[in-house]
Amino acid sequence: MSISFFWSRAFLTNRFLLWLLFWCNLVGTVYGYMWYGQQMEYTIANHAIWQVIFVPDSPTASLFFTLAFLFLLYPPKSLALKGFSLLIEALAVVTSVKYGIWAVSIIFAGAAQGDHLVWQDWMLVASHLTMAVEALLFVRFFRFGTIMLIPAAAWTFLNDIVDYTYGVYPWLPNELLDHLFAVQNFTLGLTLFSVVLSWFVLRLAKRKTI
């Protein structure tokens, strides 16, 4: 068996694997919201309540991907649900690439400034790298087109703007607090990179299916 089989359509769209990934993403989403629980409570207590929506970045990305897997398993029939599923797919890809790379970068940037890494950091590195790889592997099986990248990009940029305007960005290692402006610029640049990369991979995937 060739190693290429493990990223083939036959393997990746097998219903057993899709269900396995659905449950893995769902469990990761729940754990992620629990991880952000303290910051969400702090935000509700000290900020306008609507800002809490923008706090749990990575869990929301994995929630989008959980729903995207559900739509792969059960393709929607109604026009409204089809449109919703296309938006969810685009959001899943853009945000998973963005926050997958972002979390790993911030963890290692903090370590480079003197932060001591513990086992939870390595767990986060592995899980967030998986988010980005998962997005790039499955984009070719999604049905959304280039147009849907526009609202996905708008949401992700809005998240960045709210995060760094109102101070509800994910809590950073203390070693990076003196570099907040650099983190902000990196985050905005990474959003642009993620949108462009998603567009490129999507175009490449669609071209190969023609």
Q: What are the tens digits of pLDDT across the range 176-189?
A: 999 999 999 999 99
Instruction: Tell me, rounded to whole angstroms, the distance of Cα 50 from its chain centroid.
Output: 21
pLDDT over threshold 60, residue 19: yes
Q: Output the average pLDDT for the chain.
A: 93
pTM: 0.93
pLDDT score, position 147: 95
pLDDT score, position 203: 86
Q: What are the tens digits of pLDDT across the range 97-143?
A: 999 999 999 999 999 999 899 999 999 999 999 999 999 999 999 99
The CB-based long-range contact list for 122-129 (8 Å cut-off, 24+ gap) reads 127/28, 128/58, 128/99, 128/100, 128/101, 128/102, 128/103, 128/104, 129/100, 129/104
pLDDT score, position 204: 87
List the domain range (segments joined by +) for residue 194. 3-209
Q: Please count the other Cβ atoms lying within 10 Å of the Cβ belonging to residue 149.
A: 19
C-alpha–C-alpha distance, residues 34 and 39, integer Å? 10
pLDDT over threshold 70, residue 68: yes
Cα→Cα distances 98→44, 91, 102, 130, 201, Å: 25, 10, 6, 12, 14
Q: Where are the alpha helices (DSSP H) in the chain?
A: 9-12, 15-35, 37-46, 57-73, 79-112, 119-138, 149-166, 180-209
pLDDT over threshold 70, residue 209: no
In one-letter notation, the amino acid at residue 167 is: G
Q: How many domains does the chain have?
A: 1
Nearest to 153 by CA among 100, 122, 191: 191
Nearest to 93 by CA among 126, 63, 129, 135: 135
% of the chain with per-residue pLDDT over 70: 96
Q: What are the tens digits of pLDDT across the range 154-168?
A: 999 999 999 999 999
pLDDT over threshold 70, residue 210: no
Nearest to 110 by CA among 164, 167, 159, 179: 179
